[in-house]
Amino acid sequence: MSQLPPPGWYPDADSRYQRWWDGQRWTDSLQAVPLSAPVLVAPRNGLATAALAGGIAAASIAALEIVTAMGIDPLSLLLMVAAAAVALATGIPGLVRANRLDPHVGRSRAIWGIVLGAAAIVLVAAAVTLAMILTNGGATGTAA
C-alpha cells in the first residue's frame, strides 16, 4: 500500500485556493493562497546624492583653480558656480527629506553637499577678490 501525504493545505485545481487534505481524503475546506511577504525596499534620497555630487564637483573645481594659480578661468568659474548651485538647491530639500525618513537616509550626504558647495563659493570668492586686488596693484580706485 502506498503512503498517503500528511494532512495539510495543498494547491487546489483553482490556483487561487488551497484545499485541506485530512490525510485520508480531500475536504470542502478552502483558503486563499497566502500572498508572498512584501518586499521591503529601503528608502532612497536622490536629492542628497545629487547634493554631494554637486558639492564634490564645486569643491574640486575651486581647489583646482586655487592650486593651479593660473588666474580665474571664466568657464571654470561658471562650472563651479553651477555645481555649487546644484549642491545647495538639492542639498537643502535633500536634508529636509532625510529628516522625514526613518532612518535618516541621505542626511550626511545632504549636509556634506551643502558644506562643500558653500565652501567652494567662499573659496572662489576669496580667490577672485585676491586676484582683483593683485591685478589692480592695491589701487583704491582714486585717480592720480
Does 78 map to a domain?
yes
**Residue 140 confidence (pLDDT):** 59
Q: Is residue 16 in some structural domain?
A: no
> Is residue 117 assigned to a domain?
yes
Q: What is the pLDDT of residue 139?
A: 57
**129 inside domain:** yes
**Counting Cβ atoms within 10 Å, is residue 11 exposed (0-12), middle (13-18) or buried (19+)?**
exposed
> In this predicted structure, what is the pLDDT of residue 138?
57
Residue-wise pLDDT tens for the chain (144 aa)? 578 889 999 988 888 899 999 999 999 999 988 777 777 788 899 999 999 999 999 999 888 877 776 666 788 889 999 999 999 999 999 999 999 988 889 999 999 999 999 999 898 788 778 778 887 765 555 555
- Let me know if residue 10 belongs to a domain: no
Closest CA to 95 of 117, 121, 124, 79: 117
Count: domains in the chain: 1
Looking at the domain assignment, is residue 128 inside a domain?
yes
The domain in which residue 74 lies consists of 46-135
Under a CB-based contact definition with an 8 Å cutoff, are residues 84 and 120 in contact? yes
pLDDT of residue 6: 92
Integer Cα distance of 78 and 84 in angstroms: 10
